Structure 1
């Protein structure tokens, strides 16, 4: 059983937001010549956990990358934390944490060095960085092992520790439970719930609908680059 750690919370340098944290209206995003988002609209308030459902290729990953400021808006309007994604994408990036299919680790660095690097980018203290490692179970025997020597599950835990240490206001997660054992999945769920309770806003794309659905405050469907609310959802 993992040792308790303080709840993750947004950075003290958080952007001040009035209105929705995420506001997309008729957004089009193009990959190559293909409109991966084709008139997508979505509003998400502070503290929500929104599950993105839909088949592979529907646009879920594109939506997460757009919200992270990594893709341009071709048409429509989109703001994250009040920043306009058409003109201020670089200002969004320090305030969001994206965990995609790739873990985003420096494989020649140790677990501790990776988490320390990402934590220091937002001014996290040594105690906060250590707490993030404790929370995801990588603070002891794994701490000084190069990430290239880790198993898939250990790499996923390390990436999640980096995300916790970053104290992002917006968490963007693409199949975050992948590679984790049962204990790791439970710890991740508890971490996300506590982050949302502390004011973080979370989008999670997942095919594990029962687990992610129980965690989410609501679900939306992403199909053919468009977003629709599921029946019974707001």
Structure 2
């Protein structure tokens, strides 16, 4: 079976700093993978590399069979990244934003309606311009714009940030459903206790390299490695 993600000695430079310093990683289609590590470990850069948004400085990498050195544009058509930026157009309504991403992915109006419904973005809220939304509503609109694309690879950076309990539960349900349908989900979060329920494979990232890969690792937020990361910060 072809890997969803395959990296060999992957290095990504931010300026002169090696945000990724030689990552080796294989991810199988349909997996849910948690990237665990302290702030500044390289988790976000790894997600962005897999999304085709960062340059592979040295080493080799493939995402969904596409070479990250020469086919990053092809990668972007098949993956979706939920990052710290919303990826939304402020002058468009919520529904217009979701419809834009739906058209880009070849999805139809029914898919737009379903995505808006799943994220409780119906009624007057659907017709509200993004510039007038609260931070939590923007986050929900971003998730709806990801869901409507039905990507083969979901890349989620702190997916529960700024969300209420109901929407956090919805995100978990969406992740389970995506994986069950054959999509691959790679996420980075510090909310380890919540993510434990998804039973992810845990990949530890420290100093821009993979330091551990354990599908049965404890997700306790009070584990020594997490405490050390919190003290170090970024």
Decide which of 63, 72, 83 is 1:89's aligned counterpart.
72
Matches within 5 A, 1:14-33: 18-33=1-16
Report the counterpart of residue 188 of structure 1 in structure 2: 171
Q: Secondary structure at the match of 2:127?
A: coil
| CA–CA separation in structure 1 for the residues paired with 2:6 and 2:129 | 39
Name stretches of at least 5 consecutive residues in structure 2 with no aligned partner: 218-234
1:70 to 50, 53, 68: 53
Q: State the TM-score, normalizing by the size of structure 1.
A: 0.90
Q: Give the match for residue 111 of structure 1.
A: 94
Gap regions ≥5 residues in structure 1: 1-17
CA deviation string 1:102-139 (max 9, x = no partner): 11111111000000000110110110111011111112
Contact 2:33 2:187 (8 Å CA) reproduced: yes
Aligned residue number for residue 130 of structure 1 = 113
Which stretches of structure 1, 4 residues or more, deviate above 6 A after TM superposition? none
- Aligned-pair CA distance for 1:230: 4.4
1: CA distance, partners of 2:192 / 2:67: 31
CA RMSD of aligned residues (A): 1.3
For residues 178 and 81 of structure 1, the distance between their equivalents in structure 2, rounded to whole angstroms, comes to 27
* 8 A contact 1:21–1:82 mirrored in 2: yes
**Cα distance in structure 2, aligned partners of 1:218 and 1:208:** 15
Q: How many residues align?
A: 217
Residue in 2 that maps onto 1:200: 183
Is residue 175 from structure 1 mapped to residue 120 from structure 2 by the alignment? no
The TM-score normalised by the length of structure 2 is 0.90
CA–CA distance in structure 2, aligned partners of residues 47 and 139 of structure 1 = 30
Higher helix residue share? 2
SS of the residue corresponding to residue 141 of structure 1 reads helix
